[in-house]
């Protein structure tokens, strides 16, 4: 298998990847196509403006299904799975009752789209050791007596949840529109980024927007959201929770939060009324941190904090690096702490700003265990100055891809704490009714093929005050750096590592 190359725009076809067509009453649907990102040739379906998870996006579903049957009739669907070789061809015929409710009938159409997309691309070919074909027929029968679209969507959600993957899910049209909010950097809400913890499903705060209502209320990364407006959040996706937290600026939302670390309150669980405000999301901030090296020289370190991998993350970072280079910085600290992820492609674009040549940025593995390297093509780094990356438990998904790419290629030292451990990639497909299906279609490995999912990345150096060898007075006060940076022990540890790199470079 040849490498998947960046900046290569020819079509790439995934071996043995099935596509689906359905026949209803002699009407044949168009073939579905697995769409690849044209720049990276990533073997997944789409690319998205998600603010809190790693995804790629397609605007087309499995096809246009025809439902022109009389109410209550039995529909017969013939599903043909076409592989590259005729030896892999197979067909399946399923009979199901068509609902008399127009609303439910429309959701039945969505169900078939969902079923087909999952059947052709879900990362587990056993579908959690269940008969996925029978699951379609069973769910159709369960939908038949229903009278509302919401109840029908719940049936689809139940079918999808039977796969046992918290990242594979369907969201309704309104939730999907809210999910896409943030591409322009503005939303109305409380300033929280929330992810579902992979093993428990608990909804954990991975970061708060600075000076947001949530931050002012003392909510911290690692806290668990238990209820919103008195409603328990068991089984809810992070997108659903985000939609519940958003709302008109000036309104309020009541949240119940559980914290293991919070000693400022008498109970670890508390309720907080949060006002909603206009939240400005800026994915990147920077500062110059001057400090004295152990040999007494003045050094200038460029500090760059990336909060999320949005559509503009790479272009914004490129501008910032050029600005810092113009200011004469000699080293860099890239802060990915509490960065919950975002666009896979944005993470890959950012990695290219720091690397030369044709380095492998990440490997992906599909449902058939095929491994695909994603490589740079004739890369040219903006700077070769020493680099330290800060990570912690809130660094997830695209943050882990970037940290792994720069670390395994010998470009950066990692300082901090073990990362979150989300090594799965989802496709996001907008369905015919405006809803969206998230499907886990691949896992990723670091360039040295280290497992990340449910494991995380262990940094080279832990950052804690007792490990700090550089005395705090060596930091030169500078209003641009800010007192918060000067007091951050992880940044001080990073500066020590940069001093060591620069010293080794001089000696050689």
In a domain, 60, yes or no: yes
Same domain? 135 vs 227: no
Alpha helices in 132-227 (DSSP H): 132-143, 149-161, 173-180, 213-216
Highest mean pLDDT: which range of 117-121, 248-252, 277-281, 504-508: 117-121
| Structure tokens, 209 | 């927007």
Please check whether residue 396 is in contact with residue 28, taking contact to mean a CB–CB distance below 8 angstroms. no
**Cα 449 versus chain centre, distance:** 20
User: For position 377, what pLDDT does the model report?
Assistant: 86
CB 67 within 8 A of CB 24: yes
Q: Are residues 209 and 160 in the same domain?
A: no
Q: Verify that 141 and 196 share a domain, yes or no.
A: no
Q: Does one domain contain both 347 and 427?
A: yes
Give the residues across from 443 on adjacent strands. Answer: 365, 424
Question: Coil, strand, or helix at residue 246?
Answer: coil
Q: Are 335 and 464 in a shared domain?
A: yes
Task: Report percent pLDDT > 70 for the chain.
Answer: 72
Residues near 398 by beta carbon (within 8 Å), at least 6 away in sequence: 54, 309, 339, 341, 342, 343, 344, 346, 347
262 falls within a domain:
yes
**Whole-angstrom distance, CA of residue 171 vs CA of residue 148:** 16
Q: Name the pTM for this structure.
A: 0.67
pLDDT recorded at residue 106: 87
How buried is residue 124: exposed, middle or buried, by Cβ count under 10 Å (0-12/13-18/19+)?
middle
Smallest CA-to-CA distance from 492 within 479, 480, 474 is with: 474
Residue 172 included in any domain: no
Q: Which residues contact 97 (CB under 8 A, 6 or more apart)?
A: 72, 73, 74, 75, 140, 141, 144
Q: What is the CATH number of the domain that holds 201?
A: 2.30.42.10
Residues 302 and 378 in one domain: yes
pLDDT at 431: 93
Q: Name the residue with tokens 């050791």.
A: 129
Q: Same domain, yes or no, for 230 and 333?
A: no
| Residue 276, domain member (yes or no) | yes
- Confidence at residue 299, expressed as pLDDT on a 0 to 100 scale: 85
Which carries the bigger pLDDT value, residue 341 or residue 13?
341
Query: Do residues 228 and 210 make contact, with C-beta atoms less than 8 angstroms apart?
Result: no
Same domain, 229 and 378: no
> Is 171 a member of any domain?
no
Asked, for residue 314, whether it belongs to a domain, the answer is: yes
**154 pLDDT higher than 50:** yes
Over residues 167-211, the pLDDT tens digits come to: 899 988 877 876 665 544 567 889 888 888 777 888 888 778 878
The answer to whether 147 and 470 are in contact (CB under 8 A) is: no
In a shared domain, residues 229 and 250:
yes
Domain coverage including residue 364: 284-507
Residue that has been written with the tokens 């009979």 in this structure? 95
Q: CA–CA distance from 16 to each of 34, 82, 364, 472 (Å)? A: 12, 9, 16, 58
* Domain edge (last residue) among 280, 300, 323: 280
> Comparing C-alpha atoms, which of 269, 286, 330, 343 is closest to residue 48?
343
Q: Among residues 133, 166, 199, which one ends one of the domains? A: 166
Task: Please determine, for residue 469, whether its predicted confidence score (pLDDT) is greater than 60.
Answer: no
Token output for 204: 């954990």
In sequence order, what DSSP letters do the residues of 475-503 get, joined into one string?
A: BPP-TTT-HHHHT-HHHHHHHHHHHHHHH
In what helix (H) or strand (E) does residue 319 lie, and over which residues does it extend? helix 313-326
Same domain? For 367 and 460 the reply is: yes
State pLDDT tens for residues 349-374. 999 999 999 999 999 999 999 999 99
Question: What pLDDT digit, counting tens, does each position of 397-412 carry?
Answer: 999 999 999 999 999 9
Domain membership of residue 176 (yes or no) is: no
Domain boundary among 280, 313, 342: 280
Least confident of 74-88, 255-269, 278-292: 74-88
Catalytic residue positions, numbered: 397, 422
Count of other CB atoms within 10 angstroms of residue 36: 21
In the chain, how many domains are there? 3
Average pLDDT, the chain: 76
Answer yes or no: is 175 within a domain.
no
């Amino acid at each position: 298998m040849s490498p998947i190359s960046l900046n290569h725009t020819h079509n790439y076809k995934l071996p043995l990847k099935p596509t689906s067509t359905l026949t209803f009453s002699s009407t044949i649907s168009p073939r579905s196509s697995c769409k690849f990102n044209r720049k990276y040739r990533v073997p997944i379906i789409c690319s998205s403006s998600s603010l809190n998870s790693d995804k790629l996006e397609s605007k087309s579903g499995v096809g246009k299904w025809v439902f022109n049957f009389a109410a209550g009739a039995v529909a017969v669907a013939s599903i043909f799975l076409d592989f590259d070789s005729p030896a892999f061809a197979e067909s399946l015929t399923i009979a199901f009752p068509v609902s008399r409710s127009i609303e439910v009938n429309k959701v039945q159409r969505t169900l078939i789209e969902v079923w087909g997309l999952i059947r052709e691309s879900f990362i587990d070919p056993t579908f959690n050791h269940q008969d996925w074909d029978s699951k379609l027929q069973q769910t159709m029968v369960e939908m038949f007596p229903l009278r509302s679209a919401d109840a029908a969507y719940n049936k689809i959600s139940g079918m999808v949840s039977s796969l046992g993957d918290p990242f594979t899910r369907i969201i309704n049209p309104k939730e999907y529109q809210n999910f896409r909010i943030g591409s322009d950097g503005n939303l109305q809400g409380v300033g929280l980024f929330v992810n579902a913890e992979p093993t428990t499903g608990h909804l954990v705060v991975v970061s708060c927007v600075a000076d947001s209502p949530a931050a002012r209320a003392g909510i911290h990364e690692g806290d668990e959201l238990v209820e919103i407006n008195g409603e328990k959040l068991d089984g809810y996706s992070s997108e659903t929770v985000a939609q519940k937290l958003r709302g008109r600026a000036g309104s309020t939302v009541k949240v119940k939060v559980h914290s293991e670390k919070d000693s400022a309150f008498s109970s670890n669980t508390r309720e907080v009324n949060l006002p909603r405000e206009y939240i400005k999301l800026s994915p990147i901030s920077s500062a110059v941190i001057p400090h004295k090296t152990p040999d007494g020289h003045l050094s200038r370190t460029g500090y760059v904090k990336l909060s999320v991998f949005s559509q503009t993350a790479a272009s914004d970072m490129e501008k910032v690096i050029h600005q810092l280079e113009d200011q004469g910085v000699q080293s860099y600290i890239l802060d990915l702490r509490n960065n919950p992820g975002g666009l896979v492609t944005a993470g890959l674009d950012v990695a290219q700003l720091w690397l030369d040549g044709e380095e492998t940025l990440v490997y992906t593995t599909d449902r058939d265990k095929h491994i695909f390297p994603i490589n740079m093509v004739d890369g040219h780094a903006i700077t070769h100055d020493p680099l330290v990356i800060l990570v912690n438990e809130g660094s997830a998904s695209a943050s882990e891809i970037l940290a792994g790419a720069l670390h395994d290629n010998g470009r950066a030292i990692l300082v901090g704490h073990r990362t979150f451990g989300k090594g799965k990639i989802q496709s996001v497909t907008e369905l015919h009714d405006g809803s969206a299906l998230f499907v886990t279609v691949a896992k990723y490995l670091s360039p040295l093929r280290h497992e990340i999912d449910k494991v995380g990345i262990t940094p080279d150096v832990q950052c804690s005050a007792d490990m700090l060898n550089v005395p705090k007075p060596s930091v030169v006060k500078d209003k641009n750096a800010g007192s918060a940076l000067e007091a951050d022990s992880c940044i001080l540890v990073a500066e020590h590592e940069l001093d060591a790199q620069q010293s080794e470079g001089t000696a050689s």
